[in-house]
Amino acid sequence: MAEQHVTSVKMYLGVFLALMVGTALTVIAAKTDLGAWNDVVMLAIAVTKAVLVILFFMHVKYSTRLTALTAAGGFLFLGILLLYTLNDYLSRGGFLLGVPGK
């Protein structure tokens, strides 16, 4: 049987602190008007927090390559779905003028 990796409490607290900072950044970004960049900033923060949770709390960092490949495949599929949604949103008229599409 393979030896299991033991993660220190210090590392868990560091990841927890990073997640709390990410939450504070999310609140700050929600209250700040960044124009069209609001969605991009919020998605970047959310993806960063999701990666931290997946790597450390779900133990993907210390798992087999197949587990990491499965998690990466999920992110790839999410990226494809986001690109299709963004393609539909940007193809509607009035996006660059700040006016919702018809």
- Its sign, for the CA torsion 24, 28, 31, 36, is negative
* Sequence-ordered list of residues with C-beta below 8 angstroms from that of 99, at least 6 positions apart, any chain: none
pLDDT tens per residue across span 8-44: 899 999 999 999 999 999 999 999 998 878 888 998 9
Q: Which tokens belong to 46? A: 């959310």
Q: What pTM, to 2 d.p., does this model score?
A: 0.72
Say if CB 56 and CB 11 are below 8 A apart: yes
Tally Cβ neighbours within 10 Å of residue 82.
12
Q: How far apart, in whole angstroms, are the C-alpha atoms of residue 48 and residue 29?
A: 14
